[in-house]
Structure 1
């Protein structure tokens, strides 16, 4: 039987790895430029750390890890007879693969709170796993690239995150991204003024689907969730909210004048919008989107989502927001935080579709020593050691050529890998050096070669 890999996972070729590393390194450089420090957490956590943090839907998508040994031995026989998989799972699985990087980060902050200097700016680039249905841009194993600040309530953090998004996409040459921004307090205020405060979650979840299911679909879902027709009528203007960011903020301020929380949300959003306008952006647009809710209920302030350039049909390529008490789920109260994430796999697809990977090269030697004479191999290895000691990527073709065809095979290797400089032989302690681009050949000392190739 032909071997395969699980659905929703991928093998990556050398070219793909080089391209992905280009994105990783660009994001990492920007994270560190903005003062973020790296951390890493285990691939799997105790189930109790993850379960119940993402809602019922999220819990269903968490990959559970079976206990070691005879894991069924201690399970109550009645549970096995009942075939209640949820109850059985809690007894046969104590650990699970992480679903995201945010909840493990919250656990990290609580566990290491006495070692951390607050405000703590961390970044994390690691894989996560979700038992989701695979489709374009959605995988069961994928990388998240997160940056968070905990221990600060300053809105300048939100301003910096907008700049950080813009900085990364500018360096990747992804032009035309839109950074959508909203505030959870605005959504709470809207729910309050239309008389649906007790239905806040249902209201925001439905509103968040506007771009996917349209106005009629949102109205239908709200009605099904018990939100009155009168309340939906009051919220109609949000479905066609247009104008500049200032126009939208002015309309929201008027609509939410009777809601203290809603008014606070407008003020916070105005600060971010005005500050970014003063500082300027390189390649991205910042857009107030009042329908943006994002599914995760732990957001309490700003909410971000980044849309790909219009010519690429794909979902969001980044997102995040402010959470005032995420560490509270592990007993550490009142630690405010804000964070964003880059969707590496979708960014890759966007760059591939826009043809932005031409400048990314595979790792390869700068100098290749061909192997036409076994008696020269030791001398060539000594020269290779000296080149490597001077930071020059160098290789010896491993198999000696005993025929013209084998020599041609080595030259073909040079051509396929695009190697710039070749050493063919050694004559009187000098190396026969060839520039494959100019086709110029000359006898040089090792020191002369180092000077040329560096």
Structure 2
């Protein structure tokens, strides 16, 4: 049987990992620069921790883990014969792979509330799993890089997150990245004034698909959720808002004049946008997008989404404000806000734009040719000295033919090869070959270290 891996998962070569680690390290440095500290949570959680936190669509995408042992023995025959997957799953699966990092973080905060200093700023870089249909930029196993602040309702946190996004993407060379911003209170206000407040979740889930299915597609989906034609007619002006961020906010004030919650959202957005514009951005563009919904139930305030310019790709980042996420675990009144970087999509975007040319190499810098036992012992002395100086080096394990060893260096793109036979041993030198230029020179150990280091 030919081996394979599950759809939506991937193996990574050392070259690919070097690029991924470059992104990880760039994001991590910015997280730390902004005062965030790292934590980690288990790859799987109790199902009760995850289920019901992401909406109906999210719940369907959670990977469930079967209970160990003979789990079917405890199932009543009547229940088994009904073939009701929802009821059966709850009896045979008590754990699930994490869907994101935010809900496990909320659980972490509640469990450790007595040892945490608030406001608590954490970052977390770990894989998550979703039973989604695999496609370009969408995988079933992928990494999220999250930063969150809990215990503060200050809008300065939103301002800082916009700055953090800009800093990371500028450092990665992703210019003209679009940081989209909206507010869940505005969406609630719109639902209220069009008379669809009781359909808020259906409304936001459909609206969030605007980029994919267009206005007509959104309206069709809303109709399928029994949102009235009268409500949809009142919604139409939202799709026609134009102008600068400020001009759109002014138009929105008129549209939401009768919604206290909607106007509160406009006020919050105005503060964030004004402060970001005063501070300025290095290479990103802040764009108000009043159709941005991000179909997750727990957002209550600001909503973020980031798109790369010049590449056909979904969002490469997103997040928002969640005023009472920890309340679902019994800790009330703890406001939080967070953002996430989509590592895998960022990788694909950078690959397509050719932005990995300066990625630090992780492979060996030097290969020592093995001419035999005595020569290998001589090489090992130098090998140890080079490694002590931080130079990545290896020796070919056996005294194979020279051509085979040189091919090994070429195949691994090792830039330098060191040849030391009986003649070099007698003179206490090493012959250094530059594999790019073909130049060779004999030098002592100190010069060898200096030449490779430079």
**1:341 corresponds to which residue?**
340
CA distances 1:146-187 after superposition (whole Å, capped 9, x unpaired) = 111100111111011111111111111112211110011111
**1:413 corresponds to which residue?**
408
C-alpha distance in 1 between matches for 2:83 and 2:216: 41
SS at match of 1:428: helix
SS at match of 1:73: helix
Q: TM-score, normalised by structure 2?
A: 0.95
CA distances 1:114-154 after superposition (whole Å, capped 9, x unpaired) = 11111111111111111111111111111111111100111
Q: TM-score, normalised by structure 1?
A: 0.95
**1:300 corresponds to which residue?**
300
Q: CA RMSD in A?
A: 1.7
CA 1:320–1:364: 2 relative to 1, 3 Å: same
Is 1:131 aligned to residue 126 of structure 2?
no
**2:196 corresponds to which residue?**
196
User: Quick check: 1:365–1:394 contact (8 Å CA) kept in 2?
Assistant: yes
CA 1:72–1:27: 2 relative to 1, 3 Å: same
C-alpha distance in 2 between matches for 1:366 and 1:306: 37
Alignment equivalent of 2:432, drawn from 434, 445, 448 = 434
User: Quick check: 1:423–1:431 contact (8 Å CA) kept in 2?
Assistant: no
Gaps of 5+ in 1: none
**1:445 corresponds to which residue?**
444
C-alpha distance in 2 between matches for 1:441 and 1:84: 73
**2:381 corresponds to which residue?**
382
CA distances 1:89-112 after superposition (whole Å, capped 9, x unpaired) = 222221111111111111000011
CA 1:384–1:189: 2 relative to 1, 3 Å: same
User: Quick check: 2:53–2:298 contact (8 Å CA) kept in 1?
Assistant: no
User: Quick check: 2:176–2:285 contact (8 Å CA) kept in 1?
Assistant: yes
C-alpha distance in 2 between matches for 1:428 and 1:62: 66
Is 1:424 aligned to residue 404 of structure 2?
no
C-alpha distance in 2 between matches for 1:438 and 1:212: 51
Gaps of 5+ in 2: none
C-alpha distance in 2 between matches for 1:215 and 1:67: 44
CA distances 1:221-260 after superposition (whole Å, capped 9, x unpaired) = 3333333333322221111211001110111122222222
C-alpha distance in 2 between matches for 1:142 and 1:4: 18
Offset of residue 389 of structure 1: 1.7
Is 1:33 aligned to residue 33 of structure 2?
yes
C-alpha distance in 2 between matches for 1:140 and 1:126: 14
SS at match of 1:118: coil
User: Quick check: 1:430–1:443 contact (8 Å CA) kept in 2?
Assistant: no
Number of aligned residues: 449
**2:311 corresponds to which residue?**
312
